[in-house]
Amino acid sequence: MPLNVIKHEPSQTADAVIIWLHGLGASGNDFVPMTEHLRFDSANIRFLFPNAPQLPVTINQGMVMPAWYDITDISIDRTIDSKQLRQSAAEIHALIDEQIEKGIDSQRIIIAGFSQGGAVGYEAALTYPKALGGLMAHSTYFATASDIEPAKANAKLPLLIQHGTQDPVVPESLGRKAVDELTQRGYPVTYQTYPMPHSLCLEQVEDMKRWLADRFA
C-alpha cells in the first residue's frame, strides 16, 4: 500500500525535492515547518513528508504506532526488523521514482530523516540506483551498516550527519559510529553536533540551510 504523503509545493514550478522522514511514533507533520526555514534562490523545492505505516513496536509493549520498522531490543546496537526497514526504503525509492518521472533531476533530490526515519534514509539513499543530491541524517544511526548493498551511483553521495550531545534516545556515540563507518567507505561526510537532546535546534537548521545551498547551487 503506497505511503500517505504530505506535500508542500513551491510558489513556482518545482525543480528540486526534499523527502523528509519522521521518527518513531511521530508523523510527517513534524517537519512541515521546515518549508518556511529552508528557502533558496537557487531552488524551488517541493517538500514531501511521508507518514510511516502503523506497526506494532516490540520495545513499546507491542503498541501499534507510526513506525518505519519494528525495534525488538533497545540495547546500544538495537536489534531491528531489517526486512521492514528495507520495505520502507523501497517505498521511499518509489517516491523518488515518481519525482524523476515528473521531471526532477535525481541529483536535485535530497533525502532527510530524523531518528528512525534517518535509519531508513541511510538505506534508501545509499542503495538508490541513480545519483541523488545528498542525505541529511538527524539524531539517528546506521542500522543496516553490516549488510547494506550500496549502489555505485551514490558512492560519493554528500552526507550531512547532525546529532545532539545530550541525546538520551539515540546516543551521540551511534552518530559518531555512523560517521566512522561511512568515512571508511569513502563517503564525503559533514558531521555536526549541538548541545541538545533528541530534537532539532535553530543553529542546526541554519547549518542545514548552508549545506543545502551548496547542494542546490
pLDDT in tens, 56-67: 999 999 999 999
**pLDDT at residue 75, as a whole number:** 72
Q: What is the DSSP string of the chain?
A: -PPEEEEE--SS---EEEEEE--TT--GGGGTTHHHH--BTTB-EEEEEEEPPEEEEGGGTTEEEE-SS-EEE-STT-EE-HHHHHHHHHHHHHHHHHHHHTT--GGGEEEEEETHHHHHHHHHHHH-SS--SEEEEES---TTTTT----GGGTT--EEEEEETT-SSS-HHHHHHHHHHHHHTT--EEEEEES-SSS--HHHHHHHHHHHHHHH-
**pLDDT at residue 195, as a whole number:** 98
For the domain covering 4-216, report its CATH number: 3.40.50.1820
What are the extents of the domains in the chain? 4-216
**pLDDT at residue 76, as a whole number:** 58
213: pLDDT confidence band, cut at 50, 70 and 90?
very high
Please say if 167 is a catalytic residue.
yes
Please say if 77 is a catalytic residue.
no
In single-letter form, the type of residue at position 73 comes to D
- Which among 119, 172, 113, 160 has a CA at the least distance from the CA of 142? 119
**Overall average pLDDT of the 31-38 stretch:** 96
Among candidate residues 88, 106, 115, 139, the one labeled active-site is 115
Among candidate residues 22, 106, 163, 167, the one labeled active-site is 167
Please say if 163 is a catalytic residue.
no
Among candidate residues 30, 180, 198, 199, the one labeled active-site is 198
Q: What separation, in Å, do the N-terminal and C-terminal C-alpha atoms of the chain show?
A: 36
pTM: 0.96
